[in-house]
Amino acid sequence: MIEKAIAGFKAAFGYEPQGVWSAPGRANLIGEHTDYNEGFVLPFGIDKRTYVALASRQDSTCRVSSDIDGKTYETNLTSVPVNLDWALYPLGVAWVMREWAKSGFDAFFVSDVPVGSGLSSSAAIECAIGVALNEIWDAGRTRQEIALLGQKAENQVVGAPTGMMDQTASMLAEKDSAVFLDCQTLEARAIPLNLEPRNLVVAVMDTRVAHRHSDGGYRVRRESCERGAKTLGVSSLRGLTVQDLPRAEAELDEVDFRRVRHVITENQRVLDSIEALSEGDMERFGELLLASHDSMAHDFEISIEELDVAVEVAMKTGAVGSRMTGGGFGGAAIAVIDKGLLPQLEKNCKEAFAAKGYGEPKVFAVVPSEGARRER
């Protein structure tokens, strides 16, 4: 992939890049739609990454290209990028980092992070360009600050109202660990998963039903959460616990209550999952994953039939636990499962999807891997 990025850069721009940087996609073990509610999340970086070959220019022009569509998108550091398709992600990061800019740049991207599958291909792009620009501009930003700049770009330039989980996971990920992030204090720490000694892997069941965070469903859920917090007199849903659910049910309409109940109980599930993992209680961890999926399917209503089928198939195949991952309305489910059962899981998923007339899913394992870095 590094060589592919360099070759693509040379073909697109006609000269050698200064270097190559990369950042991983992420899978979220548990903690969905809690990040923008200042709650808890437990994602990890995966061993599928986005790479950017980049070089600074002598002017303020910013050009990005990729093997996605073969096009080159161009803007400058003085104007907000608009209507640039996928290029809004890297050019948005450049724009929010413009106060540290010393020049424009040329950049070429390649990636093996599946797009639209809930594995945060967008955050991988943002963090790869973020660490590259941080270095060539000598911006001096910390890894957490780069993550927040990526979130700012996604919110303000792309127009997707996402929290900071994806970018934080992509920046702070560590090998064989998940990242426990408190989205209120921004404190983060590595949580050892110890999957390898148990011969367990995280399988991704990509439904190949693409989703878009900037579409209305995500925004409506966020507005519902904000409305619930305001009605209940807290600045965010982080200020509520499971003890507040009876009051929430009394004061909110039925839909807003279910949205709020998901977030409150999901926060508790993240904390319970960390406890289960630290104690090596994989059975309990698996139960928490299933409870999370049930909450997303019925309280938050962001699952789809394909995701529900994937989770059902995973459990019948022998998974420890399974749930949809990502923003919902498509994308992927994950399953913690014995490595030896992967071929059977793939076979069972494809057969179940075919029987229901769905498109063929893609099933593969991901390994918890390290965060954004310079490659060359």
Residue entry with tokens 């003890």 = 243
Biggest alpha carbon–alpha carbon distance for the chain? 65
**Nearest 10 degrees: Cα torsion 37, 167, 82, 131:** 150
Q: How far apart are CA 329 and CA 307, in angstroms?
A: 9
- Token pair, residue 79, equals 């104007």
Q: Minimal CA–CA distance to 219: which of 328, 116, 366, 304?
A: 328
- Cα dihedral sign for 356, 359, 363, 368? negative
Yes or no: say if 102 and 137 are a contact pair by the CB < 8 Å rule: yes
Q: Minimal CA–CA distance to 120: which of 326, 367, 330?
A: 326
Q: Minimal CA–CA distance to 21: which of 179, 146, 118, 189?
A: 146
Query: Catalytic site residues?
Result: 166
The H-assigned helical ranges of 14-161 are: 88-96, 121-136, 143-153
Yes or no: say if 261 and 255 are a contact pair by the CB < 8 Å rule: no
Q: How far apart are CA 274 and CA 251, in angstroms?
A: 31
Yes or no: say if 85 and 147 are a contact pair by the CB < 8 Å rule: no
User: What single letter denotes the amino acid at residue 72?
Assistant: T
User: What single letter denotes the amino acid at residue 168?
Assistant: T
